[in-house]
């Protein structure tokens, strides 16, 4: 059985990175933070579906956006609670367990990613975005503020980097198709060549 411990390595060859933090989810998946190189505090988020044989992926904004869109299509009323919970977690990441318990019954039965994975995965992805944020043009910032405002979402202090990810979810909640929203945000959604 492959070891998943802080300080151990995950990945093969040049893609092997030291594990900095671990969150074991109730469904048996592991979220891990590994070393990364964009800045001194940078990290990469991985989800491990199976340690042995090893099966993992690097979750991206687009994955969560498509999942949210699927939830909106299945039950828009319940899906709004997903956005509400994500935004509450964005403002108060220290209360994630409490937020999970508060919304778990409200979103029960929605298809797609497990709610626990959404909250914990996005918590780290949003932190990563804030760490690597270098600023954006004021016109783009005003556009993101307006998108979020339509969902009554206010950006917390020092969270402008992660606001882009939140604005994508808000844009889809506002009625924009996820592919259009990703293009509008100028995010590259093409698969990487190996």
Q: Average model confidence (pLDDT) for the chain?
A: 93
Segment holding 57, helix H or strand E: strand 54-57
pLDDT at 96 over 70: yes
Region of 17 on the Ramachandran plot (φ > 0 left; ψ -120 to 50 alpha; else beta): beta
Neighbours of 127 (CB within 10 A): 18
Please, are residues 57 and 42 in contact by the beta-carbon 8 Å criterion?
no
User: Percentage of the chain with pLDDT > 70?
Assistant: 95
Please, are residues 59 and 125 in contact by the beta-carbon 8 Å criterion?
yes
- What is the pLDDT, as a whole number, of residue 50? 94
| Reported pTM | 0.92
User: What are the tokens at 173?
Assistant: 């909640």
Please, are residues 122 and 62 in contact by the beta-carbon 8 Å criterion?
no
For the stretch 146-184, pLDDT in tens is: 999 999 999 998 999 999 999 999 999 999 999 999 988
The model's confidence at residue 118, banded by pLDDT at 50, 70 and 90, is: very high
């Amino acid at each position: 059985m492959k070891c998943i411990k802080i300080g151990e390595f995950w990945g093969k060859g040049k893609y092997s990175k030291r594990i900095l933090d671990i969150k074991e989810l109730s469904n048996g998946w592991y979220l891990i933070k590994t070393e990364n190189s964009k800045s001194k505090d940078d990290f990469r988020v991985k989800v491990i579906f199976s340690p042995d044989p090893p099966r993992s992926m690097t979750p991206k904004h687009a994955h969560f956006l498509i999942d949210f869109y699927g939830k909106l299509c299945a039950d828009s009323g319940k899906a709004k609670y997903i956005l509400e919970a994500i935004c509450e977690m964005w403002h108060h990441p220290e209360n994630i367990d409490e937020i999970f318990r508060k919304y778990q019954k409200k979103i029960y039965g929605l298809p797609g990613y497990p709610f626990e994975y959404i909250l914990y995965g996005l918590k780290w992805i949003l932190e990563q975005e804030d760490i690597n944020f270098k600023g954006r043009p004021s016109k783009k910032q005003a556009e993101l503020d307006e998108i979020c405002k339509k969902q009554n979402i206010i950006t917390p202090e020092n969270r402008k980097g992660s606001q882009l990810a939140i604005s994508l979810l808000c844009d889809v909640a506002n009625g924009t198709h996820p592919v259009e929203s990703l293009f509008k945000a100028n995010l590259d959604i093409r698969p990487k060549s190996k």
